[in-house]
Structure 1
Amino acid sequence: MDTNDAGLGSRLAAYLSGMGPSWVAGAVAAGPATIASLVTAGALFGYQLLWVVVLSAGAGALTQYLAMRLGLLTERGIVAVVEDHLGEWWAWLLVADAVIAAGVAQLVIMKTVATVSSTVTGVDARIWGVVWALVLAVGLAGRGYRFLEVAAKTIVALVIVAFVASLFVVPIDPGAAVAGLVPSVPSGGALVAAGILGGAVHITLITMHSYTMRSRGWTRDDYSLAAFDVGASMLVAFGVYSLAIFLVTASVLTSADLSTVGAAQALGPLVGPSAKWLFLLGLWGAAVSTLGGNTIVPPFLLADKLGWGTTIDDSRYRGLLVAAALLSAPGAFIGGAVLGQLVLVLALGTVGTPFAIAIVLYLLNSDAVPDRNSTLANVGGVALLLVTGTLAANFVRSQVAGGIGPLSGVVLAFAAALALAMLVLLAKFVREEVVAA
C-alpha cells in the first residue's frame, strides 16, 4: 500500500473516532420538529419542496461551520465573547433569544417523545413524560456531556439506518423527485419551507456549538477535525436523514392532517407494517436524541452569562441541567395535535435565528478572532442571513395576517426587537469599518 494512502487512511480513521460536538447539534436538528416539517411538506405538496430539503443540509453545514470557527478561534463560549466585544446588553439578548427558542421547543419535543413512547409500549404518555424527565436529569447531571455525545452519535446513526431502510419498501417516483429540485414555493408552502430550513439552521444549534467543543477540550489545533465533524454530521448524516424522510412521505402520504405518529401508522395499510415500524422507531430515536441535545442549551448559555462553569464539575451548572430536564416534563401534558405544534416551534425559532447569524458574522469579522472570515465564508453567511431573514419575515407576516392575537403579538414584538438589534449591529459594524479605513 502507498505510504500516502496509509497516512490518509489513518487520519480518516482518527477523524471518524474523534467526531462528536457537531453530532450533538445534528441530533437536535434531526428531531421530531424536522420530521413534522418534512412529513407536512411531503403530504401537502408531494416532491415540490425537495429543493428546500437539499438546501437545508447545505445551509445547516455552513451555519455550523461558522459557529465552529467562532468557537475554535476564540476558544470561549459565544456568550462570553459577545459580552466582551459587544457588551452585556447584547449578551443578555442572545441568551434570551436562544433560551426562549429552546424552552418552547423542549416542551413540544417532550410531548412527542412521550407520545411515541406511549404508542410503542401502551403506557400512558404522561407517565412517560415524567420518566424521560428523570432519565434526562440523572443522565446529564450524573454523566455530563460525554454521556450525551455517545448517545447522540449512536442514536442518530441508528435513526438514519431506520429511515433509509424505509426507502426500500416505499415506491419512489424518480421523475417527480427530480422536478422537485427546481426552486418554487407552492401556495401555502412558506411556513412549511421555514420549518424545514429552521430544523437545520436554528439558533440553538448555532449557540451550543462553542460549548460542546469546549467540553471536548478542542482548540485551534483541532480545526481540521472540527470541520470534518461538521461535514460528516450536518451535510452527510443530516442530509441523508432529511432526504429519506421526505421521499418516503412525499411518495405515499396524501394528507397532512396527521400527527407524526399518525404518519407512521398511516404507512402500514399503504405500504406494509415494516415501513410503519421503521418510521415509528426512527421517530422515537430522533425524538429521544433531540430531547437530550436541546436540554443542555439553556444551561450552557445561562451558566456562561453568569460566569459559572459549563461542566458538571460546577454544581451550579449541574443544578441548571437538572432544572432544565425536570421542567420539560409538563410537555407531555400539552393537548392538541403535535404535528402543527412542531412546525410552529421550528418556524418560531427561525425568527430568532437571523440575529444569531448576524452576531456570529460580526464577531468573525472583528478583532474577536485572530483570523477574519474569508470573502467566500462571508458571502455564504450573508446569503444565510438573507434566506433566514426572508423566511422569518414571511412567517411573521402569516401570523399577523390572521389578526393580532396573544401568540402573533408576542411573535411580532419578538421579531421587531431582534430586527432593530440587527440594524444597530449593522450600523456599528459599518461605523467601525469606516473608522478603521
Structure 2
Amino acid sequence: MATEATTRERGTVGAFVRQLGPTWLAGAIAAGPATMVSLLIAGASFGYALLWVVVCSAVLGTVGQYLATRLGLLTEAGIVTVVDEHLGSFWAWVLVIDVVLAAGLAQLVIMKTLAEVSAAIVGDLGIAVLADPRIWGVAWAVVLAVGLAGGGYRVAELGAKVLVSLVVLTFVVAAVVVPIDPAQAATGLVPQIPAGVGGALVAAGVLGGAVHVTLLTMQSYTMRARGWTRRDADAATFDVVSSMLVAFGLYSLAIFLVAATVLPALGVDPGTIDQIGAAEALGPVAGEYATWLFLAGLLGAAVSTLGGNTLVPPYLLADKLGWERSVEDHRYRTLLAAVALLSAVGPFLGGAFFQLLVLVLAFGLVGTPFALAVILVLLNDPDAVPETNGRVANAGGLVLLLVATVVAAEFVRDELATVTEPLSAFVVAFAAAMVLAIVGLAGTYYSSH
C-alpha cells in the first residue's frame, strides 16, 4: 500500500517514476525474443508494409493494458477470482485454459530458442561437447525451476535485461545511422496484409507481441503484488503509457525500421531467415560483432521472458484453486517447478525456432479476443465494478477487440489451407473453440442483464 509520503506526493511525475512496475513487467515480457524475431521477419519479408501493425501494436497494447489495469484497480482481486464470482466457474476455467495453452506453447518455444542459442554460442567457442541444444534445455529448465522456486532467478534476469538493453540500444542507434526513407516508410501506415506466404502470420505475430492474453490476464496479479488500489489510478495510467506506448513503442519501431531498411537491401531471404541473417541488421553499427551481439541479446531476451512466462500458468491455476500464490505454499511451489521442468521438452520440438517464435505470438493472439471480451463484460457490469466503463474506454476496447479479431482471423484463414497438418488443425480447432466461447459469454451476459 502507498505510504503517507507517496500519498502526499501523488500526482507528481517524481512519485510516479518511483512507483513504476506492474506494466513494465508486462512490457519486458512483450519485448521478448518472439516479438524481436517477429519484427525482424516483418521487415525482412515485406519492407515497410507492416509499419501500421507495429504502430497499432504499441497503441492497442497500451489500451489493452489500461483496461486490464482498470479492472484490477476496481476489483482489487485477480482476474480469475473476479470471473469466477461474477460470470461463473465455467468461464473462469475457460479463461485459465486459454491462458495455459498460450503460455504453455510459448514456454516450449522460448526454451527451444534459449537452448539453441546457448548451444550455438558454445559451439562457436569450440566446446563441441556442449553444443547439443537438448543438454542446454535440461540445464536451463533446472536453473529455472530451482531459481523461481527458491527466489534466486532474479540474478539471471538482471543480467539478461542488461544484455537485452544493450541490443535494443544498438537498434536505436542503428535507426539513426541507417538511411531510412521517411516517405517510403509512411506508405506502410496504410492498413494491409501483404500478399504472399506468411503475411497474415507475421502480422498476427507482430500484433500478438503487445496484445496477448498472458499480458492482459497477469496485469491484475502484478498490481495486487504491488498493493495498488483505486487511489493509485493516476500512477497506474502513467505506468501503462510510459511502458507500453513509449518504451515498447520505441523498441518496436527501432527494430522494425532498421530491419525493413537493411535486410531487404542485403538480399536476406525472408523464407530462410535465421538468427545469423537477422543479425545483419546490426551490421551498420556493430560490424563484425553483429552476430555475437544479436545472439547475446536473443539469449538475454529468452532468459528474461522465461522468468515471467513460467509464472503465468501457476498464478492462474492457483487463483482458481484457491491456493496462495507464493512459494510458501508447497502446492504452488511444486506447480511452478513442474512448469519450469516441463519446458525442457522445448528443444526436442521440430522446426526452426525463428519461425516458431512468430507462430507462438500469432497463436496467443487467437486466444486474446476472449480475454478482451471478458474484461469488457466485467468493466460494464455494475455488480463487478463500482464504476463502469465510460464511452471512451468502451470505444477503445471495442476497437482493440475488432482489430485483434480481424488480424487473428486472417491468420486462422491461412491455416485452413494446411488444416490437414496437425499444428494447423490445432490452431483452427482452438480458434473455433474461442469463437464459441465469445458467443457463449455474450449470451450469458445479456441473459443476466
Specify if TM > 0.5: yes
Q: What is the CA–CA distance in structure 2 between the aligned matches of 1:269 and 1:154, rounded to whole Å?
A: 20
Aligned: 1:164 with 2:158: no
8 Å contact 2:50–2:189 — kept in the other structure?
Answer: yes
1:26 paired with 2:40, answer no
- CA distance in 2 between counterparts of 1:139 and 1:74 reads 32
Distance 1:154 1:221 in 2: 33
- Pairing partner for 2:142 from 134, 146, 157: 134
**Closer, same or farther in 2 for the Cα pair 1:286/1:292, shift >3 Å?**
same
Gaps of 5+ in 2: 1-7, 124-129
Answer whether contact 2:258 2:281 (CA < 8 A) is retained. Answer: no
CA contact under 8 A between 1:53 and 1:197: conserved in structure 2?
Answer: yes
The answer to whether residue 60 in structure 2 is matched with residue 54 in structure 1 is: no
Secondary structure of the 1:362 match is helix
The answer on whether the counterparts of 2:38 and 2:202 sit within 8 Å (CA) in structure 1 is: yes
| Corresponding letter in the other structure for 1:325 | A
**1:131 Cα deviation from its structure 2 partner:** 2.6
Secondary structure of the 2:323 match is: coil
* Aligned partner of 1:202 among 212, 223, 230: 212
Alignment of 1:140-155 (within 5 A): 140-143=148-151
SS at match of 1:327: helix
1:253 match:
263
Which residue in 1 is equivalent to 2:308? 293
Instruction: Indicate conservation of the 8 Å contact 2:263/2:278, yes or no.
Output: no
Contact 1:45/1:186, CA 8 A, preserved across alignment: yes
Paired residues of 2:171 and 2:254 also in contact (CA < 8 A): yes
- Deviation of 1:219 after TM superposition, in Å, equals 2.0
Label 1:405 to 1:118 Cα distance change in 2 as closer, same or farther (>3 A): closer
Q: Which residue of 2 aligns with 1:410?
A: 426
Deviations 1:8-46 (CA, angstroms, capped at 9, x unpaired): 899323322321111221122111111221111111110
- Listed one character per residue, the Cα deviations across residues 100-159 of structure 1 (whole Å, up to 9, x for unaligned) are 000011110111122222333334233322232222222222228987996787666445
* Matched residue, 1:379: 395
Please name the residue that 1:388 is paired with.
Answer: 404
Q: Kindly indicate whether the alpha-carbon contact (under 8 Å) linking 2:369 and 2:404 is maintained by their aligned counterparts in 1.
A: yes
Q: Distance in 2 between matches of 1:61 and 1:25?
A: 11
Contact residue 170 and residue 275 of structure 1 kept, 8 A: no
Aligned residue type for 2:259:
T
Q: How many aligned residue pairs are there?
A: 427
Aligned 8 A contact 2:412 2:427 in 1: yes
TM-score of the pair, normalised by structure 1: 0.90
CA distance in structure 1 between the aligned counterparts of 2:447 and 2:277, rounded to whole angstroms: 52
How big is each residue's C-alpha offset from its partner over 1:64-101, in whole Å with a ceiling of 9 and x where there is no partner? 11111111211111111111111111111110010000
Letter in 2 for 1:205: L
Shift of the 168–252 alpha-carbon distance from structure 1 to 2, 3 Å rule, reads: same
More displaced stretch, 103-112 vs 15-24: 15-24
Which has the larger displacement, 136-145 or 373-382? 136-145
The 1:139/1:220 distance shift into structure 2, 3 A limit, reads farther
CA RMSD in angstroms, aligned pairs only: 2.5
CA distance in 1, matches of 2:313, 2:149: 14
Counterpart Cα distance in 2 of 1:116 and 1:212: 30
**CA pair 184-268 structure 1, distance change in 2 beyond 3 A:** closer
Preserved CA contact (<8 Å) 2:170 2:282:
no
1:226 to 201, 219, 236: 236
Give the letter aligned to residue 97 of structure 2. A
Tell me which residue corresponds to 1:324: 339
Percent of aligned pairs sharing the same letter? 60
Between 1:345-354 and 1:145-154, the stretch displaced more is 145-154
Scaled by the length of structure 2, the TM-score of the pair is 0.88
